[in-house]
Amino acid sequence: MKIGIVGCAGRMGLMLIQEVLATSGATLAGGIEPGGAAVGQDLGLLAGTIPAAVAVTTDTKALFAASDAVIDFTTPAAAKIHAELAAATGKALVIGTTGLGEDARAAIAAAAKKTVIIQAANMSVGVNVLLALTEKLAATLGPEYDIDILEMHHRHKVDAPSGTALVLGEVAAKGRKVSLKDVARTTRDGQVGARPSGEIGFATLRGGDVVGDHTVVFAGDGERIEITHKASSRVIFAKGAVRAALWTKGRVPGLYSMRDVLGLG
């Protein structure tokens, strides 16, 4: 499968290059950047590995034309454009970008009617197991257990709560058959009063070089259950994204998640 990478000179882009080159059944179709010193360089050498015999370009349309699937870990605005290109070319698109707004989500949903789109706030296999467990526990334990989601990331992360934390909240709410927007509490400050029954809370920490830690707490009377995933390397996101790209082969158009890729439902 020919895999293209947008934002190929970024931190995630370089890891994706390495992972594609190391994965059986995958071929590096190309990579793009909007400009800068990386343009014209060999993708493999740029990523510190073997020559790939394909250079970084700025031509997004040509990248989609040359690829079977494209992986995007860039920005919400770019994800919207790439979704539209995927729909126009019929190529699969794997989106790991977080902080998507309504415009980007609408474009992705529209594109998924014409091609295969995999969109996930977190491409880690482990995190998606955490999502499945969170939904199951929320359904099993019931509203008498308070749910809080704690996440920590590096000091440079710009959005909060993290996309993964919000998805954890969504699956917890789904397990309870409620809408997250009706029960979410993203901040607590001052005299907030007693906690309402059924509330799903979020807590955010930022500091250092933390790749990503997520803990879901189910606090009941007399006991507490905590499930945690800690990422020590961004390689797990690249591995998951390439696995997702390979999974798109032969699939019918639609909007899929990593839980679909992993068979977690």
Active-site residue set = 153, 157
**Around Cβ 143, how many Cβ atoms within 10 Å?**
13
Q: What is the DSSP letter of 196?
A: P
Find out whether 76 and 95 touch, Cβ atoms under 8 Å: no
In order of 161, 204, 207, 245, the CA distances from 157 in angstroms are: 10, 11, 9, 25
What long-range pairs does 158-161 form, CB within 8 A, spacing at least 24?
158/99, 159/98, 159/99, 160/204, 160/206, 161/186, 161/202, 161/204
Find out whether 145 and 219 touch, Cβ atoms under 8 Å: yes
Give dist(CA 175, CA 178) in Å, integer.
Answer: 8
Which residue blocks in the chain are alpha helix, DSSP H?
Answer: 11-22, 43-46, 60-66, 76-89, 102-111, 125-141, 163-175, 180-183, 235-247, 258-261
244 φψ region: left (φ > 0), alpha (ψ -120 to 50), beta (else): alpha
Give dist(CA 59, CA 8) in Å, integer.
Answer: 12
Give dist(CA 242, CA 177) in Å, integer.
Answer: 33
